[in-house]
Chains A and B, each alone.
Chain A
Amino acid sequence: MWIYEKKLQYPAKVGKADLKMAKYLITQYGGPDGELSAALRYLNQRYSMPTNVTKAICNDIGTEEMAHLEIIATLVYKLTKDATAEEMKKADLGGHYADHDNALFYVDATGNPWTATYIQAKGDPVADLHEDMAAEEKARATYQWLIDLTDDPDLKDTLNFLRVREIVHFQRFGEALNLVQEHQNSKHHF
């Protein structure tokens, strides 16, 4: 089960309001390679993982991704709070304002809603772990592009934190893959 602890994992700061940046950042909230996709993908895969290590890794990384989802939400919240309708329109967020005012929503950078088609659970642990490793690399790359898109040093710090987490997650999924392949190879005789 989950219990909520009332703090962010990282002290996420932004230097100034930046609606354009919020529009790009939202892809890591509700987009295909974002934190919601990561959290739901790993937490859902837990149930069909065959070993204690793979269950633990999917559980624990999935849980950390929920904390990262909260960090992205915090960044978007800080970048957009007090924005007027006029300012939203100028940043090409008029459509979002019409549907949501400055509420957050699970969409990608062009407003497409989150969908379960962004994730998969084949039930085959090798396939699923490869999907997880690919997801981590895609998220890492996305954070690199987002770092390039901003000149706000505070925002860069938080994005870099999230980028490095993806590298660490890749390492753990990779180790879990080694172990599950060893487990499978020891059971079958080819």
Chain B
Amino acid sequence: MNEMNRMMLRLAQAYVPFQVYVNRWDPMKSLMMGTIFPELYRPYYESMRRG
């Protein structure tokens, strides 16, 4: 989040918070999950559809 604080936020511009690497999953788990970074993982269930 240091980058976000450093940046001056302007109108009419989009910003995505910077990720900061803390932990990672081991290689096999990472492959199964789709990323090495737990904080980027988002599960999907069909029940999540429609609001």
Please judge, given known A-B contacts A178-B7, A182-B7, A185-B10, whether A160 and B34 are in contact too, CB under 8 Å.
Answer: yes
Task: Classify the secondary structure of B's interface with A.
Answer: loop
Contact stretch, chosen from A16-24, A38-46, A95-103, A167-175: A167-175
Contact mask for chain B residues 1-24; partner A; CB cutoff 8 A; 1 contact, 0 none: 001000110100111101100000
Please judge, given known A-B contacts A161-B34, A164-B35, whether A175 and B16 are in contact too, CB under 8 Å.
Answer: yes
Q: How many residues of B contact A (CB 8 A)?
A: 22
A153-170 contacts to B (CB < 8 Å): 157, 160-165, 167-168, 170
Instruction: Give 5 closest A-B pairs by Cβ, nearest first.
Output: A174-B16, A164-B34, A161-B34, A148-B46, A168-B35
Q: A147-B44, A168-B37, A178-B15 are in contact. List 11 more A-B contacts (CB 8 A).
A: A162-B34, A164-B33, A164-B42, A165-B35, A168-B40, A171-B16, A174-B16, A175-B18, A178-B16, A181-B13, A185-B10
Interface residues of A, Cβ cutoff 8 Å to B: 10, 130, 144, 147-148, 157, 160-165, 167-168, 170-171, 174-175, 177-178, 181-182, 185
